[in-house]
Chain A
Amino acid sequence: MSTAAEQVVSYHGEVYEPSLFRTYSKKIGMWLFLLSDSLTFGALLFAYSYGRISVPHWPTPFHGESIARASIMTFFLLTSSLTMVLGVAAANRGDRKWTTGWLLATMLCGAGFVVLHGMEWHGLIHEGLRISGFTAPPHVQTTGEFADITKSAPQFAGTFFTLTGMHMLHVTIGVVYLGVVALRKKFLPILAILWLVAWLGTPAWSPFHYGAHVLLVSLVVCALVLFLKPKDYTAHDVEVSGLYWHFVDLVWMFVVPFVYLLNLGH
C-alpha cells in the first residue's frame, strides 16, 4: 500500500505535464514575451523603413553630434550587456554581493542611456522636430532643418519618436526591473525619488514631464508585487531579468544602423 505522500506525488504526476523544453516556466514565459515583443519592434522598424522608401525626399538630419551621441549610447548598452551576463554568472555561483554589484552597474549604464537619449529628444524638439502630441517649447525654432522636416515629412518625426520612445520605455522598465531584483524593497524609495526628480526636474512642455509618470506606475506595481509576494529572488529570477535586458540591447543593434547610420548614406 502506498503512503499518502506517494499518492500525492503520483496524483501530481498525472496532473502536471513536464515543463516545456525541460526548463523552468519563468524562462519560457519571458521568451514568449520577448518573441511577441520582437514583432512590436519589427513592425516599428518596418514602419520607419516604409516611410523612408515611400516618402520622396526622406530627411536625413542626423550628423556629427547625433552620431557621436548614438555611439556613446551604443557603448553604454553593450557594456550593460556584459555587466548583466556577469551578474547572471555571479547569481549562478551563489555570490550575492557580486550579483548585486553587477546588476547595479547594469542599471547605471541603462540610466546613462536614457539620460543621453532624453537630451537628444530635448535638442530635437527645441530645433522644431515634433509630433502632434508634443507641446511646443518656448523659443522653439520655427525655421531650420528640423522645423522644415516637421512640415514637409511628418512621417519622419512620427516613426522616429515612436520607435525610439518605445525603446526608451523598455530600457526604463528594464532599469526598474533590475532594481527590484537587486535591491527588492530598498529600491522603492529610490524609485520614488527618481520619479520626483524626473517629473519636477523637467520643464512642463517636455514629453518627459508627463512621461515620468511611468516611474510612478512602476512604483505602484513594484510595491504591490513586493508587499503582496515578498520573496528573495533566486538565480533563475536574475537570469530571466537578464533575458529581458539583452533583448533591449539587441533591439538597439538594429535601431542604430537603420535610423542613425543610414542617414549618412550617399
Chain B
Amino acid sequence: MGKYVVIYICLLIIAALQFVIAYSHVGTAAMFARMLFLAIVEAGLALLFFMHLWAEKRGFLLFVLIFTGFALITMQYGWTDSFRMELGVPYTQPKPGVVQQ
C-alpha cells in the first residue's frame, strides 16, 4: 500500500506543478514543452506502477511502448499542414495576376 500512496503523492505533486506552470509568466511554446514533459512523466508513473507494466514481461513492455509510440509519432505528420494554414504559404496565397473566383 505504501508504494501506491507514494506514487499517488508524486502524481498530485506533478499535477500541482502543471497548475503552477500555467500561472507562471512563460511563453506558450515553453509552457507547452513543460506541460508535455510533466504529462509524459505522470502517464509513465501511472503506466508502470498503477497499471503494473513494470512487473510484466519485458517483451510485453516493449510491445506496448513500440506500438503506441509508433502510432502516436506517425500521427504528427499533419503539423506542417496546420502551420501552412496559419501562415498561408505556399499554396493558400493567391498567385500574382490570377483573379480569384
Contacts and interface: CB of A to CB of B under 8 A. Distances in A.
A64 to B, nearest CB: 10
B82 A50 contact: yes
B54 interface: no
Nearest to B61: A21
A22 interface: yes
A39 B82 contact: no
A89 B4 CA distance: 10
Interface string A33-71: 001001100110010011001101000000000010001
A109 interface: no
A203 interface: no
Contacts of A67: 19, 22
Given A23-B60, A53-B79, A85-B50, A257 B72 contact: no
Contacts of A229: none
Contact of A21 (B5, B57, B79): B57
B31 A265 contact: yes
B67 A35 contact: yes
Contacts of A239: 52
B27 interface: yes
Interface residues of A, number: 44
A71 B39 CA distance: 14
Interface stretch (A114-122, A167-175, A181-189, A242-250): A242-250
Interface in A225-266: 239, 242-243, 246-247, 249-250, 253-254, 256-258, 261-262, 264-266
B68 interface: yes
B83 A253 contact: no
A89 B7 CA distance: 15
Contacts of A43: 75
B23 interface: yes
Interface residues of B, number: 49
B18 A261 contact: yes
A174 to B, nearest CB: 14
A35 B64 contact: yes
Contacts of A204: none
B41 to A, nearest CB: 10
B19 A42 contact: no
A85 B49 CA distance: 9
A197 interface: no
Given A35-B64, A257-B18, A262 B35 contact: yes
Contacts of B46: 81, 246, 249-250, 253
A74 B85 CA distance: 34
Given A67-B22, A81-B11, A254-B39, A266 B72 contact: no
Interface of A: 21-23, 31, 35, 38-39, 42-43, 46, 49-50, 53-54, 56, 67, 71, 74-75, 78-79, 81-82, 84-86, 89, 239, 242-243, 246-247, 249-250, 253-254, 256-258, 261-262, 264-266
28 contacts: A31-B60, A54-B85, A56-B86, A71-B15, A71-B19, A78-B8, A78-B11, A78-B12, A79-B8, A81-B8, A81-B11, A86-B1, A89-B1, A89-B4, A242-B50, A246-B46, A247-B51, A257-B35, A257-B36, A257-B38, A261-B21, A261-B22, A261-B31, A264-B22, A265-B22, A265-B28, A265-B32, A266-B28
